[in-house]
Structure 1
Amino acid sequence: MVLHSGRVVTTFALQQEDPPVNVSVIVCLYIFKRPVFCVSGRVVNVSSLGGSWALKDCSPTLQQRFRSEDITEEELVGLMQRFVAESQKGKHKEDGWPETAYGVSKTGLTVRLKIMILNILLNACCPGWVRTDMTSDKATKSPDEGAITPVYLALLPPGATEPHGKFVSDKEVQPW
């Protein structure tokens, strides 16, 4: 795509398929490369202020959905598909969408990343005083008992929101 002074120079008709593609590509890339992301712990996606500008040009109802803390991946994909369908009919403006498919695609990309981070729980834990070469046989927990809290945290059910950013011991959040 050719950009000039921050504006897309292709026609709207050529761009209108962009939003679902931009969002889907990021999802696929993340799933495919997730093991690599876990090694260094950094994910950076290049978006655009065009996404912010497009969001400001959306109807209040659309802005509320895109900014919602409870928007789901399914809802976001549905919104991107709705934009494409409405723009193909020439009805996107009257339905509250801006006149920039590129901007809508970047809005979708940024919202998708917010959804992705909501699905990741990060915690620190102490397994307890576990019998290892370091502690000898004086420790009170077997390796199996020491694994209980780390495994508990690793197997929290999908959709769980807590604990997050906590220090956990014996499956309980501890003061820090």
Structure 2
Amino acid sequence: MVNRNLKKNHFNPFSDSRFCPFKCEIFFFAVCRYCRFGVRSERTMSSVPVAVVTGSNKGIGFAIVRALCKQFPGDVYLTARDPGRGQEAVAKLQEEGLRALFHQLDIDDLQSIRALRDFLKEKYGGLNVLVNNAGIAFKVHDSTPFAVQAEVTLKTNFFGTRNVCTELLPLVKPYGRVVNVSSMVSSSALRGCSQELQQKFRSDTITEEELVELMNKFVEDTKKSVHEKEGWPNTAYGVSKIGVTVLSRIQARMLNEKRKGDHILLNACCPGWVRTDMAGPQATKSPDEGAETPVYLALLPSDADGPHGEFLSNKTVRTW
């Protein structure tokens, strides 16, 4: 990590704008270690960059962790609801020569989210990269009543993701990167909404509280079997991802207002149609290909001023 042949004043990574802030932190840690200030002691762990990927024991999330293990200069945490499956995923990466760490996380469980929050705060003093990948989808021909599908899907995809952001965004360090994995289905679902709903979801001034109210209204409208009459599309997954995309726009706006000088970039993205348990074997992309855009956003260089508050697919900003 440390080049012992560097001459004095030859190169200072802390003053070079091309040098990633994550690498600056890991460089500092390496120097401390070399100078015998301690090896990963509680005192120096706050200097180690850390990335967290939710829902990452398989599929796209697992591929994102794999890519970050190769490219991110710090600790990468694979998370899963089930500790056994999470540890199995970590072991699989170890067989590939990659080092990932595990922490249990169920985004439907606020206590679980807060346990991760407290762990990151105590051990690292914050967070550098957060990829909100965890999500669910019912199969097209699932016989579960639509109202149940709506409530369950939004509980995880929207409300769970929102809870993770509420607890972890305050921990994100300057030059941090946040990626909310959404879907192009959010765009098609938006087009399926009434003009009134489209106007609300596209508003540049919509608040998080107003968005939460709309998401709750969708769930309640499905229970009353009036959701289509009220202007909603007949897709719970699509509406949940509308929520994720709009939430990302709101969060980016709030970061601009409250933490402008911290240069944090937050975006939503679509990984594409990926061969996973959720999308099925006929999908056109491999998990590693699906991970490309989320990883691109997670590793935006320190001198980048965008994208921020955007929705991307194939590393390209899409019109919302």
Mind listing any 5+ residue stretches in structure 1 that lack a counterpart? Answer: 125-164, 166-176
Cα 1:2–1:23 shift into 2, 3 Å: closer
Alignment pair present for 1:58 and 2:187: no
Alignment pair present for 1:42 and 2:202: no
- Following superposition, the deviation at residue 20 of structure 1 comes to 5.0
State how far apart, in whole Å, the 2-side matches of 1:104 and 1:78 are: 13
State how far apart, in whole Å, the 2-side matches of 1:3 and 1:91 are: 20
Tell me the C-alpha RMSD between the 2 structures: 2.3
Alignment pair present for 1:14 and 2:140: no
Cα 1:2–1:58 shift into 2, 3 Å: closer
> Does the 8 A contact of 1:47 with 1:109 survive in 2?
yes
State how far apart, in whole Å, the 1-side matches of 2:141 and 2:164 are: 27
Who is 1:123 aligned against?
Answer: 261
> Does the 8 A contact of 1:20 with 1:81 survive in 2?
no
Who is 1:87 aligned against?
Answer: 222
Alignment pair present for 1:68 and 2:203: yes
- Following superposition, the deviation at residue 47 of structure 1 comes to 0.8
Higher strand content, 1 or 2: 2
Q: In percent, how many aligned pairs have the same letter? A: 44
Cα 1:123–1:79 shift into 2, 3 Å: same
Cα 1:23–1:2 shift into 2, 3 Å: closer
> Does the 8 A contact of 1:54 with 1:107 survive in 2?
yes
Q: How many residues align?
A: 122
Higher helix content, 1 or 2: 1
Larger deviation: 41-50 or 91-100? 41-50
Cα 1:39–1:120 shift into 2, 3 Å: closer
> Does the 8 A contact of 2:193 with 2:232 survive in 1?
yes
Mind listing any 5+ residue stretches in structure 2 that lack a counterpart? Answer: 1-135, 263-304, 306-320
Cα 1:35–1:62 shift into 2, 3 Å: closer
Who is 2:31 aligned against?
Answer: none
Could you list the per-position Cα deviations for residues 40-84 of structure 1 after superposition, in whole angstroms to 9, with x for gaps in the alignment? 511111111111111000000000000001101111011011111
Return the index of the structure with the highest Cα Rg: 1
**Residue aligned with 1:96, SS:** coil
TM-score by length of 1: 0.61
Alignment pair present for 1:27 and 2:162: yes
